[in-house]
Structure 1
Amino acid sequence: MTDFAIPAGSPSSIPNRDIKVMALISVAHGCSHFFQLVLPPLFPFLKNDFAVSYTELGLVMTLFYVTSGVLQTPAGFLVDRIGARNVLIGGLALFCTAILLYGLVPSYWMLLPVAVLAGAGNSVFHPADFSILNASVDQKRLGRAYGTHTLGGNLGWGLAPVLMAGGAAMLGWRAAPIIAALVGYAILAALLLNRDLLKEDAGAARRAATKAGEKTEALGPLLSLPVVMCFGYFLLLSFALIGTQNFLPATLAALYATPFALATTALTGFLLGASAGVMVGGWVADKGVKLEAIVISGLLGAAALILLIANLDLPAGALVAAITAAGFLQGFTTPSRDLIVRGAAPKGASGRVFGFVYSGLDAGSAIAPLVIGLLLDHGRADYVLWFVALMLALTTLTAVAIRQSSTKKTTAVAAE
């Protein structure tokens, strides 16, 4: 862990086996993101059928995300103990069943325990996915594997609102989640049929540690400074992402009276730019470029563009271009970010480390809307964009801290 760089010299062609693993894990990740947004497009239908308020429906999603966030780290421990493959398959089966039950519940109150069940299913994907990719894909292609994984999730988010709302309009709201669950079961079947492709290294790492006479405390890896800094990275980054993905249209409308159509077009540009960025960023990370350099340049570039928008009422074309470029730069850093986490995780602990640090996204997603909502309520839309830029800049500091703390730890170990 002395150097956050992936060796250069990867061949131009990717072996068929790596492609299959990347496709399986990315599709499963996309399914999990799709399932996260199954209910919100159905809220108008649920509100009428169950005679409830949007606040009550919001409680369903709160239960889902709280459960998922709380259980991500335990899911990571389970990955390290029994293997990522079984945890991923079990989690997806649980998630599919919960989505199926969404379409069958007779009352609003039954949605609440089903949301908890869905949150438990959702909690396994990050620790299991990354553990499988780390063990199954050639190290020289991990950047591209991580980028494809992120792209799969983004596509799941993008498809869910359109397909769920359209399905509900044509077939009724109950049919939409049932059909989504059936598609999920088909993806589950694909994982089962190809389970031999999904390698695991937790057991091997554990046996190696035992042979060497080493014992790693269960919580030890999570309390190390590099891993704590990784958690801080995800926490701060989530503040910036919520500020753009959730509040950009409202912020632009309050700040410059930007028309809703233009503001949503800008947001679409941000999301598409981020998706393109993760693919280019994965390729660059695999070329041996310093990972922290990618992160720092990308996030500071995105912060500079956000500050530009905060201070200038740009023409429509320039606004969309600037937001799209900011999204690209932020997405460009994502594979390098995940490779940095991998470098900070001790052998045999990648599941719990990825589960723990990714829970920072859930924590930040719970806090950021309150902060940004207060700023907008007090007429400080400009502060929202300054807040986003500040969080991006602070995130780069955690990347530097991860590098420095890991280097010091490795140096100390070598000196013993």
Structure 2
Amino acid sequence: MTTALPDTSPAANPAPAPMTPAEDAARTAFPILAMLSVCHLLNDLIQSLLPAIYPLLKENFALDFGQIGLITLTFQLTASLLQPFVGIYTDKRPLPYSLAIGMGFTLAGLLLLSRAATFPMLLFAAALVGSGSSVFHPESSRIARMASGGRHGLAQSLFQVGGNVGSAIGPLLAAFIVMPRGQSSVAWFAIAALLAMALLTRIGGWYRARIPALRNVRHVVSASALPRRTIVTTMTILGALIFSKYFYLASLSSYYTFYLIEKFQLTAQDAQLHLFVFLGAVAVGTLAGGPIGDRIGRRYVIWGSILGVLPFTLLLPHANLFWTTMLTIVIGLVLASAFSAIIVYAQELVPGRTGVIAGLFFGFAFGMGGLGAALLGELADHIGIESVYGLCAYLPAIGLLAWFLPALEKPRRVSHPA
């Protein structure tokens, strides 16, 4: 008895049909999101080296807190002022490989930072690193939304958590590599920049292949249903919330190590480890914010994140070392969950302007962080770093403004079988 063999000819088993542009857009491209997250990690790891080695630079160059704040301001301004313009331009004329080029500026700034011998050279190095960031963030945020498959909050969180992890790892690597070996060892991190450039070139190829489909569907993007006055008011409220969040974060990211050294007499290396713990909590909070916003609504995440952190910031200036660590973990977890929700909320508020909104909000966030660092540094020189933390504790009260944000979407409900 013979058994018929299955027909394995191409005619009997045709290759699956290629996906249409609509099907491709509806699918979440997790490999692209993963590469974006890794690149964000590498980008922000490099950026976080600058504030992480502030104690070393302060000693080597005999800097005061005002000069430390000026370095941060230079970096943040170059990283913020250019971002909206990058977003405006690339909304009309996509530049798939601009991400890799921008990382080249970051690489140049990193190498200059390792060799800088004067304060002006430090400022120029900070400006180069910031310029690379000004290209990276709006374009990467746009690609994350393209790769989201409609899960916008999840995509933004996956993208942003890479940056937060990089920001957390940077101080840890600075503590064990740069602080013991000196400023010149910063050049070792050029490897991270080169790896990011390779990945971003590959992402640029994926982006380039989808530009024709992007142009074809652009005309069907609907305008916001809200009146212009409501949009302007809402954007102003979001700006105030960004101000609150990033002014407070500037007090921790730029001066937390000095606060711990002054108040608890920690060594610079031990203080860096505490900063790593705080920034790790920020990374976890960022990852949670987007998916929660997809599920329950982004307005509630924004409200709970900014205002919800207030009791903990008020307690922080009065805590001992153990509770300072615990409180900063909670602050990082809660406060970080807002930014993904704010970005996606603003993009839904103004449809079709993904790059402009990403550039505007990333830029404003960087600008507020830089301005906060500069002003708080000058203030610390006059009233002391501990008094600065006492004043900053009230900033999250601005979160009350989130009450006035209009509802843009209905929360997603997951149906369960009976």
TM range, normalised to the smaller chain? Answer: 0.7 to 0.9
The aligned residue for residue 133 of structure 1 is 144
CA contact (8 A) 2:223 2:350 kept: no
- Over residues 383-407 of structure 1, what are the superposed CA-to-partner deviations in whole Å (9 max), with x where a residue is unaligned? 744533x32221351x344426x69
> Counterpart of 2:351 in 1: which secondary structure?
coil
The aligned residue for residue 395 of structure 2 is 391
Offset of residue 375 of structure 1: 7.0
Which of 170, 184, 196 is equivalent to 1:174?
Answer: 184
CA contact (8 A) 1:301 1:326 kept: no
Name stretches of at least 5 consecutive residues in structure 2 with no aligned partner.
1-25, 410-418
The aligned residue for residue 94 of structure 2 is 83
Offset of residue 16 of structure 1: 9.9
The aligned residue for residue 309 of structure 2 is 302
Aligned amino acid, residue 322 of structure 1: L
CA contact (8 A) 2:74 2:370 kept: no
Q: In structure 2, do the counterparts of structure 1 residues 379 and 317 end up closer, same or farther at CA, with 3 Å as the change threshold?
A: closer
The aligned residue for residue 197 of structure 1 is 206
Given the alignment of the two structures, is residue 120 of structure 1 paired with residue 131 of structure 2, yes or no? yes
Q: TM-score, normalised by structure 2?
A: 0.73
Given the alignment of the two structures, is residue 240 of structure 1 paired with residue 248 of structure 2, yes or no? yes
Alignment of 1:52-67 (within 5 A): 52-54=61-63, 61-67=72-78
Which of 281, 286, 290 is equivalent to 1:282?
Answer: 290
Offset of residue 374 of structure 1: 3.0
Distance 2:106 2:256 in 1: 30
The aligned residue for residue 406 of structure 2 is 403
Distance 2:264 2:380 in 1: 18
Given the alignment of the two structures, is residue 325 of structure 1 paired with residue 336 of structure 2, yes or no? no
Which of 25, 29, 39 is equivalent to 1:28?
Answer: 39
Distance 1:100 1:380 in 2: 31
> Counterpart of 1:232 in 2: which secondary structure?
helix
Q: In structure 2, do the counterparts of structure 1 residues 181 and 207 end up closer, same or farther at CA, with 3 Å as the change threshold?
A: same
Given the alignment of the two structures, is residue 291 of structure 1 paired with residue 301 of structure 2, yes or no? no
Moved more, 33-42 or 274-283: 33-42
> Counterpart of 1:37 in 2: which secondary structure?
helix
Offset of residue 303 of structure 1: 0.7
Offset of residue 181 of structure 1: 2.0
The aligned residue for residue 411 of structure 1 is none
Distance 1:328 1:130 in 2: 22
Distance 2:214 2:235 in 1: 19
Given the alignment of the two structures, is residue 368 of structure 1 paired with residue 372 of structure 2, yes or no? yes
Structure exhibiting the larger radius of gyration computed from Cα positions: 2
Given the alignment of the two structures, is residue 150 of structure 1 paired with residue 160 of structure 2, yes or no? yes
Q: In structure 2, do the counterparts of structure 1 residues 45 and 199 end up closer, same or farther at CA, with 3 Å as the change threshold?
A: same
Distance 1:372 1:114 in 2: 20
- Over residues 324-344 of structure 1, what are the superposed CA-to-partner deviations in whole Å (9 max), with x where a residue is unaligned? 222211123333223212222
Q: In structure 2, do the counterparts of structure 1 residues 65 and 325 end up closer, same or farther at CA, with 3 Å as the change threshold?
A: closer
Distance 1:165 1:263 in 2: 9
* Identity, % of aligned positions: 20
Distance 2:206 2:31 in 1: 8
Q: In structure 2, do the counterparts of structure 1 residues 36 and 319 end up closer, same or farther at CA, with 3 Å as the change threshold?
A: closer
Aligned amino acid, residue 406 of structure 2: R
CA contact (8 A) 1:131 1:200 kept: no
Distance 2:272 2:128 in 1: 33
Distance 2:362 2:72 in 1: 18
- Over residues 257-314 of structure 1, what are the superposed CA-to-partner deviations in whole Å (9 max), with x where a residue is unaligned? 555479877655433322222223333233x20211122123322112222445xx55
CA contact (8 A) 1:235 1:361 kept: yes
Moved more, 21-30 or 357-366: 357-366
Distance 1:97 1:248 in 2: 28
Offset of residue 165 of structure 1: 5.7
Name stretches of at least 5 consecutive residues in structure 1 with no aligned partner.
1-14, 408-416
Distance 1:211 1:145 in 2: 22
Distance 1:170 1:376 in 2: 27
Q: In structure 2, do the counterparts of structure 1 residues 85 and 245 end up closer, same or farther at CA, with 3 Å as the change threshold?
A: same
Distance 1:382 1:58 in 2: 17
> Counterpart of 1:139 in 2: which secondary structure?
coil
* Aligned residue pair count: 375
Alignment of 1:210-359 (within 5 A): 224-248=232-256, 258=264, 260=266, 268-286=276-294, 288-309=295-316, 313-314=318-319, 317-347=322-352, 349-359=353-363
Distance 1:327 1:117 in 2: 28
Q: In structure 2, do the counterparts of structure 1 residues 61 and 251 end up closer, same or farther at CA, with 3 Å as the change threshold?
A: closer
Offset of residue 190 of structure 1: 2.2
Distance 2:121 2:271 in 1: 37
CA contact (8 A) 2:145 2:156 kept: no
The aligned residue for residue 3 of structure 1 is none
Aligned amino acid, residue 124 of structure 1: V
Aligned amino acid, residue 193 of structure 2: G
CA contact (8 A) 1:273 1:328 kept: yes
Alignment RMSD (CA, Å) = 4.1
Aligned amino acid, residue 154 of structure 2: R
The aligned residue for residue 84 of structure 2 is 73
Q: TM-score, normalised by structure 1?
A: 0.73
Moved more, 370-379 or 78-87: 370-379
The aligned residue for residue 161 of structure 1 is 171
Distance 2:364 2:223 in 1: 27
